[in-house]
Structure 1
Amino acid sequence: MPAPSDHTPSPATPAGSGHSRRDLLKQFGGTAAAVALLAAMGPLGAAAPAAAATAADRKIKKLLGRLTLDEKISLVHGATDPERLGQAGYLPGVPRLGIPELRLTDGPAGVNVVASATGLPPVATLTASFSRELAREYGELLGREGRTLGLDLQLAPQMELSRAPYFSRNKDQTGEDPYLNGQLAAAQVQGIQAQDMLAQAKHYLANNQRYGEFDRTRPDDPAVNFDFRVDDRTLHEIYLPAWEAVVQAGVASIMAAYNHLNGEWNAENRTTLTGILRGELGFDGFVTSDWGATHSISIEDGLDMQMPNGSFFGAPLKKAIQDGTIPESALDTAVGRILGQYDRFGMLDGTRKPAPPAIDVEAGARTARKVAAQGAVLLANDGGLPLSRSALASLALIGPTAAQVAVSVAGERAYGFEDRMVSPLDALKKTLGDGHGGHDIQYSVGVDLTGTAVPASVLTPAGGEGHGLTRKPADGGEGEAVVDRTVDPAVDFTGDAALPAGSAYSWTGTLTPPSSGEYALRIQAWGAAAKLTLDGREITAAGTARDGFARKWSSIVPTADGLDNGEGTARLEAGKEYRVEITATGWAKDVHGRGPVQVRFAWVTPEQRAADIKAAARLAKKVHTPVVFAFNGSGGTTGGSGDRTTLTLPAHQDELIEAVAAANRNVIVVLNVGDPVTMPWRDKVGTILLAGYVGQEGGWSTADLLLGKAVPGGKLTVTYPRREADHPVLDPAHPERYYGVDNTVTYSEGIFVGYRHFDRDGIEPLFPFGHGLSYTKFGYDRLSVRGAGDGLEVAFTVTNRGRRRGAEVPQVYVGPADGAPVEMAPRSLVGFDRLDLAPGESRRVTLRVSARQLSYWDTGKQRWILPTAHRSVYVGSSSRDIRLTGTGTPGNH
């Protein structure tokens, strides 16, 4: 076979130059002169002419000359917004020079402020659509609603690669493939910024787990803040392509992540911030720290803005400039980058497009419903879906997310319009109507997430006599206490029994369980921040206000009566006394939605849990078709502050599904999950629909999918392993990949993440990357592969061979190059499209594969190498469902 090419220029290297951007940085020692030179070279490395200074450049330079030192410093760190909109960050602006305020809102799934905004499904659900058009529409909604609510910058898209299946933020991300990540993230950027809203892509770089990532309480302790080690080739081939895609899409800003990377904090890593991001990738926007991720005055390293305060970039930066430790030119560079984006979006001269006057609630709802429908993945179907007439005549829904819609879990999203959150159960009933028996759909909770108030009979007051818990006023309350000290038989102050707004109480005593086993213990609250401790250990909390408002997202759904639902579990012994303390502190007067203090101490006993599962199985036996809704994210861990510790469904749901499947072989499982779960019941369940987290309109979209009014066309963006140990990051032989060795996490799997690992090692997954069925069938034929420039052109025909309209996502993969000096993946995704086809309709698809997608990163030469060998080309419906195979040689050979 031909030897691999060694003359292919790196896309980041100037034509005719013998030096890469990183070579130049090394020669100049990373100085400001090197940075300026690299910025002038542009994203593709073409040197800019000396006279290329634009009017915008001159405008920014003039502004910099008029700004005082204090004014400049005010533009590089966060401050408190006097209007208190509840957003994530704020810059005050400089009114005398026409520099406006900048308000930054959290994301990535909607606008997260005090005011209501559309509750979108999270990014994982969006990405499963494999639709660039829908991703752009998603971004447009973020930008449009953000502008309406007075915001300027959206902290979105979130686009890390989903490397570790335990990562609590996987539901916010774009999957395990770097090409897919980049395509969907770039489309979101384009949509957001088309509304003159700045996008901030997050979190740069290799931020793939919470375990060992960053501990705010001990920020400088290496025992709890691991170093993450990623080799140069793996960074370039797996973790940087999505960042390059958003840079090429013109993203205004990038957020530096919390974690340590290759020996440096991301917010002070000159190699990645200056050498790679600005040098190789050509980024010319500004970089902020994640909130609290700044560890030094790292403005010369490439960090332009500290969030959310000025602990380093405020008074310490001013002192460093005044004593000559840091040159003022470094500050000018950072401010110039920030103001350059202000100018680009018309914020300095008043040419920014006007914000919409009000949120179009119906338009947002249409997008949310579309994302939930197009992002649903039909994992398996033995004919159970769409629901037949027989099924509809005798149907039961089981599980809490059947009766309450699973919008999403945890924070960094829009909460949504609560009055639009219709459950799948109610949506089915309303869609079917009385004439079709919709009102006869039966329901069983299966897994009770609300529980009942813990009774007085198992509680003993702090004094040791009687039943109940001792209540007394606690710190933080307002006004005079209603009681000094009393005994309450139960902590259940909800509805008409709520306590006065702003009041604060504690309850103490002991709990003596009547039997041994696992108890679900819950603290449920609204109008107050409440906390439950057992024997001095905090079990759970609820109702905590942040940024002037609170949301009901401590669990996947609120309580049945509308309280925030903090949940924990504890294994208790019968007859043993456990010290209980409950506190409830009413919200301050400036918290939005403040009202009476509602608090309840609830539980689900082992006996009640077993009874609920038995009741669900009895109901399943009586009906034609039972549909079990299963979830993860209960308790806030998925998307919260801690990673998952298992891929097992929580709350004994495997036991529930097994019991229902044993009672009725027609069982259908609907999964409201945001990342892989194991399925020990897989062989007993013929139909599985991965609905994901579905957003505020998800009850309607789920009903549409079950009824066949919408046809699932989504595809898996991550591989589902049969066993946790099959996953490369959870392989017991490689603890360094997730748990770390000597406080260091090493990405020793290299480029073999996700499906690449399963393919190389011949491991059969539970469901492969790219998998997803439909209610119709698709045929593939007429493959053509030819060289096109330095890449390939792949063409083929897809035909809907069924009787229903449906969506298919054809995927193109390439194999390794023979004779390459590095190991390459057996298959890598290089192209995809989403097609909507009527019955019998055919569509010719032509996809271009670029030279970059066919290249590998040479760490010695610090550039991309394009092998000239033949490449196998695979076209199919998933990474394992290959329908057509061909070969091609890059270029016209």
Structure 2
Amino acid sequence: MPPSDDRVPPVRSRRDVLKGFGSAAAAVAFLALLEPAAVARPTDGGAKARGLLARLTLDEKIALVHGATDPERLGQAGYLPGVPRLGIPPLRMSDGPAGVNVAASATGLPPVSTLAASFNPELAREYGEVMGREGRTLRMDVLLAPQIELSRALFFSRNKDQTGEDPYLNAQLAVAQIEGVQAQGMLAMAKHYLANNQRNGELNRSDPDDPATNFDFRVDDRTLHEIYLPTWEAVVRAGVASIMAAYNHLNGEWNTENRATLTDILRGELGFEGFVTSDWNSVHSVSVEDGLDMQMPDGTYFGDPLKQAVRDGTIPESAVDTAVTRILGQYDRFGLLDGSRKSARAAIDVEAGARTAREVATQGAVLLANDGALPLGRAALRSLALIGPTAAQVAVSVSGERAYGFEDRMVSPLAALRRSGDTDPRHAVGVDLTGTTVPADVLTPADGTGHGLTRTPAAGGAATTDATVDFTGDQALPLGSSYVWSGTLTPPTSGEYRLMIQAWRGAASLSLDGEQLGSAASPRDGFARKWSSIVPTTDGLDNELVTVTLTGGQAYVVRIAVTGWADTVHDRGPVEVRLAWVTPEQRAADIRAAARLAGQVHTPVVFAFNGSGGSTGGGGDRTTLALPVHQDELIEAVAAANPRTVVVLNVGDPVTMPWRKKVGTILLAGYAGQEGGWATADLLLGRANPGGKLTMTFPKREADHPTLDPAHPERYFGVDGVVTYSEGVFTGYRHFDREGIDPLFCFGHGLSYTRFSYGRLSVSEVRDGLEVSFTVTNTGDRRGAEVPQVYVGAAPHAPVDMPVRTLAAFEQVELRPGQSRRLTLRVDERRMSYWDTAKGRWVLPAGRRKVEVGSSSRDIRLKGTGTPR
């Protein structure tokens, strides 16, 4: 569509301007004529850092501002070699944000989306402690966590790694995680700065200079300050050691070279004194003067090009000194320079990590609806069926940048229930993610004769024919084997097929008619994990699943390649590979079998998931909020067979529910971590009481959400290469409140197996805010946790449009039956203010404010008013 007249004009970046000059000298002369740029506050880094800086050569300084390859290859994401001559040790960086992601095993914590639903900062601090403690044990120094960007777009593939749509909740949980990590002597690196809320248009890794596929994200100043910067301000005040600059453009500049955000705001306005690191391969120029201190994972720009720029005078050495001093300042602060750092534990405390993982999975479960089916009663326990692949295999999480977990602890909900002694459920797969080996009679070798596929050694040699590609278990190929299989696949009928390439100890890929459909078991950073799908195959292979529509009788050119892991990859061994599928007929039969079983039992429990095949957490955003692989159809069929159907959702962000009116009980278990099977069993049996709350609004329709409103394609899909945050401060529940839209489930919603009443509200004006006091009573017959939420309304005569209600305070409280507790929560003045763009400061508008206390943003129990001083 053509641009409207009020569109923001194109912004030329500083880098673009420099390209217009014929020489470095001309560029420097031009920049000297520009208006003075804001300068970050001086960073002295302490006496040790200053002393070391004076002794460093230029080459040593350069080595401290970009990544390198770790000679020990521990499987971490990044490595800084240090300067052994001066006693500056290496710095090893592990991916987060849910556990330590290296070659060695670490606790498989539930992702942050599950943690956030607990609304419990103390639990978030414990979560951080586990990561920091285990990171130190595994010889890591920096954890790339927490991920604190706001969940603005429902399609964003990494919402599972974030704490939801509200900046206040986001800030509270981010600070707690950082405190937990850094208390163990581990540096935390908060990511991804700034306005990094979607993959669509974020960065085309194959062509980062193409404006058609690398969108400019436009965010106005008020929205930045009220929605996206509060958490960054909070983590800076909490003393986070490092911040990661994101991939995307923001208001005309790449985030890694955006002086306005890295220097003016982050250092000048927020007062950050740590070091800024690039996201991996996100640097586009030698931008050390703009506020970026370290390039990861290599020195493409901050290596030899930076050294040459210093030598020829294009960049002053003082800019490098500033970056080095910021880095060494954090070395010194954490005791890396003098040996005073907190000692690391010799071994991972597996049981302690497991206890935290189980507690997060329990507290992070949200009871969305309950018609009385949960907890399971005696009749249900005598006649129970579990349906779905994540019932028989625990849904730890999806995709990477997390600790995979200890496989021997991954007990499924089905197994946990059976071991409980209370019930012996039957099981139907419903949706088969392992499939069956593609049979020989639909495969034809490359020469067109017989059945099967032609196998050729990758290094050359004689070709042979294999009836099927199923080299697993005792039939695994020798260590290091590399082969290509070729020929055609001719499906017997037309329809939708699920094709799976399954492998372990060898990287495998599948192509159809020349197009690569997927790959499995590919190593990264010297190791591989089984996370191509929501769960591995039932026999333990990594499993890439792709849905394709094929025409019966038509021959499709198929190619399978497997490359045995190199000797630099951990856990190398015999190579397993398999080509499997689920035919349209088998898919329909699986659903019929599940519905038939549902009709034979008192209570069927359907476990539904998102994340199969990379739709959540992978390299690209989602394209729909519907459950994948026909799970809506499965739930409809089961519910039609038995009205007592219960649904357990293993998802990390909202999904639509076309079957909602047919299902009375829904438990959002989330991605549940390595101990999630036990936690889910506890919740179903009533041994634990769900008390989690939604951190994102679930819409009834995709179009109800501000970023998916068809009238505003600029908000997510982009218009002419520009994504505009035109919803402004009305993100998430603020949008639903402003527009009067009823959500499927609102922000802050979550039921319990017990009941809570609220009473005796009082609102007091105190210095810099309000104090809100009220009483919460457990009026049911079970112990349970509730999260009372305080919301403040808009100022009556504010000069700007303010949200109907804004979350201003909350506290998780656990009560025995009949127990009451008086709570007093403080509402800070900032939560009632707006950012005045003309004055460049926060303004508290005059007048009385509505104060609401409730169990969710739409379940308001108490109302009052207060006038902040």
Report the TM-score, using the length of structure 2 for normalisation.
0.96
Letter in 1 for 2:571: G
- Structure 2: distance between partners of 1:227 and 1:130: 33
Rounded to whole Å, the distance in 2 between the matches of 1:333 and 1:571 is 57
Amino acid at match of 1:608: Q
Deviation of 1:563 (Å): 0.2
1:190 aligns with 2:179: yes
**Which whole-Å CA distance do the structure 2 matches of 1:448 and 1:58 have between them?**
62
1:634 to 2:612 alignment: yes
- 1:717 is the counterpart of 2:695: yes
**Aligned counterpart, 1:455:** 439
| C-alpha distance in structure 2 between counterparts of 1:738 and 1:794, whole Å | 38
The letter for the 1-side match of 2:317 is E
Match of 1:862 in 2: 840
Contact 1:343 1:349 in 2 (8 A): yes
Query: Letter of the aligned partner of 1:215 in structure 2?
Result: N
C-alpha distance after superposition, 1:622-661 (max 9, x if no partner): 0000000000000123111010000000010000000000
Matched, 1:464 2:448: yes
Query: Match of 1:846, SS?
Result: strand
Provide closer, same or farther for how the CA distance between residues 231 and 268 of structure 1 changes in structure 2, counting only shifts above 3 A: same
Q: Of the candidates 374, 378, 402, which is equivalent to residue 385 of structure 1? A: 374
Q: Is the 8 A contact 2:41 2:268 kept in 1?
A: no
Number of the residue aligned with 2:589: 611
Which of 385, 396, 418 aligns to 2:385? It is: 396
Q: Could you give the per-residue CA deviations for residues 491-541 of structure 1, whole angstroms, max 9, x where no partner exists?
A: 111111111111111111111111111000000000110000111111111
Superposed, which structure 2 residues align to 1:34-183 within 5 Å? 34-36=39-41, 57-183=46-172
Code of the residue aligned with 1:313 in structure 2: it is F
Structure 2, unpaired ranges of 5+:
1-31
Give matches, 1:467-486, under 5 Å: 467-475=451-459, 484-486=462-464
Q: Is the 8 A contact 1:189 1:251 kept in 2?
A: yes
Name the counterpart of 1:503.
481
CA distance in 2 between counterparts of 1:369 and 1:60 reads: 42
Percent of matched pairs sharing the same residue: 75
The change in CA–CA distance for 1:188 and 1:30 in structure 2 (over 3 A counts) is farther
Q: Does 1:281 align with 2:270?
A: yes
The residue type equivalent to 1:454 in the other structure is V
Residues 553, 636 of structure 1: 8 Å contact kept: no
The aligned residue for residue 353 of structure 1 is 342
Tell whether 2:496 aligns with 1:489: no
Matches within 5 A, 1:403-802: 403-432=392-421, 436=422, 438=423, 440-475=424-459, 484-802=462-780
Could you say what secondary structure the match of 1:786 adopts? strand
Alpha-carbon displacement from aligned partner over 1:125-162 (angstroms, at most 9, x marks no partner): 00000000000000000100000000000000001100
Q: Retained in 2: the 8 A contact 1:291–1:307?
A: yes
State how far apart, in whole Å, the 2-side matches of 1:717 and 1:91 are.
36
Following superposition, the deviation at residue 31 of structure 1 comes to: 5.0
The aligned amino acid for 1:804 is R
1:152 and 1:35 map into 2 onto residues whose CA distance is 26
Give the match for residue 19 of structure 2: none
2-structure distance, mates of 1:759, 1:114: 46
AA in 2 matched with 1:180: L
Inter-partner Cα distance in structure 2 for 1:737 and 1:487: 52
1:206 aligns with 2:195: yes
**Runs of 5+ in structure 1 lacking a partner?**
1-25, 40-52, 476-480
Q: Counterpart of 1:419 in structure 2: which amino acid?
A: D
Instruction: Report the Cα offset of residue 849 of structure 1.
Output: 1.0
Displaced runs of 4+ in structure 1, greater than 6 A?
none
Partners of 2:262 and 2:429 lie apart in 1 by 50
- In the TM superposition, what whole-angstrom CA distance separates every residue of 1:857-878 from its partner, at most 9, and x where no partner exists? 0001110001121100010000
Q: Secondary structure at the match of 1:635?
A: helix
Q: 2:211 matched to which residue of 1? A: 222
TM-score by structure 1 length?
Answer: 0.93
**1:12 counterpart residue number:** none
Cα displacement (A) at 1:555: 0.1
Letter in 1 for 2:144: L
8 Å Cα contact 1:30/1:275 also seen in 2: no
Q: Secondary structure at the match of 1:36?
A: coil
Give distance in 2, aligned partners of 1:341 and 1:793.
37
CA distance in 2, matches of 1:506, 1:61: 57
Q: Which residue matches 2:815?
A: 837
Q: Deviations for 1:772-799, whole angstroms, at most 9, x for unmatched residues?
A: 0000000000111111112111111100
Tell me which amino acid in the other structure corresponds to 1:467: H
SS in 1 for 2:562: strand
SS of aligned partner of 1:208: coil
Task: Tell me the amino acid that sits aligned with residue 178 of structure 2.
Answer: V
How far apart, CA to CA, are the structure 1 residues paired with 2:269 and 2:33?
Answer: 15
Deviation at 1:35, TM superposition (A): 2.1
Are the counterparts in 2 of residues 529 and 584 from structure 1 also a CA contact under 8 Å?
yes
> 1:637 & 1:314 partners in 2: Cα distance?
36
CA distance in structure 1 between the partners assigned to 2:209 and 2:509 by the alignment: 28
Contact kept in structure 2, 1:777 and 1:800, CA below 8 Å: yes
Residues 852, 115 of structure 1: CA spacing in aligned structure 2 closer, same or farther, 3 A cutoff?
Answer: same
The answer on whether the counterparts of 2:850 and 2:865 sit within 8 Å (CA) in structure 1 is yes
Aligned residues: 839
Is the alpha carbon distance of 1:333 and 1:31 closer, same or farther for their aligned partners in structure 2, counting shifts above 3 Å? farther
Q: CA deviation at 1:680?
A: 0.2
C-alpha contact 2:46 2:332 (8 A) present in aligned 1: no
How far apart are the structure 2 equivalents of 1:637 and 1:70?
44
Contact 2:791 2:805 in 1 (8 A): yes
> Does structure 1 conserve the Cα–Cα contact (< 8 Å) formed by 2:41 and 2:267?
no
- The AA in structure 1 aligned to 2:293 is D
The Cα RMSD (Å) is 1.3
Alignment partner of 1:792: what SS? strand
Is 1:539–1:569's contact at 8 Å kept on the other side of the alignment? no
- CA offset digits 1:96-125 (Å, max 9, x no partner): 211111000000000000000000000000
Q: CA deviation at 1:487?
A: 1.1
Tell me, what secondary structure is at the counterpart of 1:603?
Answer: strand
Tell me how far 1:58 sits from its aligned partner: 2.6
Could you report, residue by residue, the CA deviation over 1:257-300 in whole angstroms, capped at 9, with x for unpaired residues? 00000000000000000010011111100000000001111000
Distance 1:159 1:30, change over 3 A: farther
Matches within 5 A, 1:236-247: 236-247=225-236
Give the whole-Å Cα distance in 2 for the aligned partners of 1:844 and 1:248: 30
Counterpart-to-counterpart distance in 2, 1:62 and 1:542: 49
Residue 260 of structure 2: which of 271, 278, 293 is its match? 271
1:524 maps to a residue whose letter is Q
Give me the whole-angstrom Cα distance separating, in 2, the residues matched to 1:643 and 1:59: 45
1:300 to 289, 295, 299: 289
- Give the whole-Å Cα distance in 2 for the aligned partners of 1:537 and 1:567: 15
| Aligned-partner residue type, residue 437 of structure 2 | A
Aligned mates of 2:735, 2:831 — CA distance in 1: 18
1:823 matched to 2:817: no
